[in-house]
Amino acid sequence: MQNRLENRPDSRFHSPLTADNAVLLLVDHQIGLFTGVRDISVGELKHNVAALAEAAFALDVPVIVTTTAADSMWGPLIPELQAVLPDKLEVIDRSTVNAWHDDRVRTAIGETGRDRILIAGVSLEVCAAFPAIASTAAGHTAYVAVDASGTFSATKRETGLLRLQQAGVIVSDYATLAVEMLADNAHPQAPAVYGALDMPFATLVGQLSAAYGR
């Protein structure tokens, strides 16, 4: 059954996303772009993208961060995301609209050896969708974390989601992607992941279960 499933064209929708086969690409979570976000509250968007990055680091998932014209047009990363990034992580500042068209971004992804690309960006229909569609065409499996992305109107959100689905990109939310990569609540990093996702109740239940030997 498993071999037949792997040979199906849509098998990427059925095989698991794991902390060993995923890489996270964060595109243009910049102060200037956040001022135009209208489809999700700015506070929620800031929380979600920072939480996704923090959960990825807890699971040793490589994180690649890129901006556009950070010194001029769109400004620096939002402080909430910058705060969870390691000092040694280099942010790739580019000029291309599509992050996938920047050689440095593709090289950084390729060097991880991972074929599943989790993407979030501002805006959803451009900064997240364009590299997701392009990487899918190049043979990768792309996921877009919709609630760690944002855009400038309801129409842009709706058409962006439609285009992603038409291109075969997997759409999800940030917490579901993180939990899918976690896979097992007995994982030693489970408390860190749930803590990053702002789910303290899950950590508490795990602590109680351990205390009572369940």
Q: What type of residue is 154?
A: A
Active site residue: 127, 132, 171, 197, which one?
A: 127
Q: Would you call 48 helix, strand, or coil by DSSP? A: helix
Contact between 143 and 117 under an 8 Å Cβ cutoff? The reply is yes
Report the phi/psi class of residue 18: left, alpha or beta, with left for phi > 0 and alpha for psi in -120 to 50: beta
Nearest-CA neighbor of 169 among 187, 144, 192, 148?
144
Q: Is 127 a catalytic residue?
A: yes
Residues noted as catalytic? 127
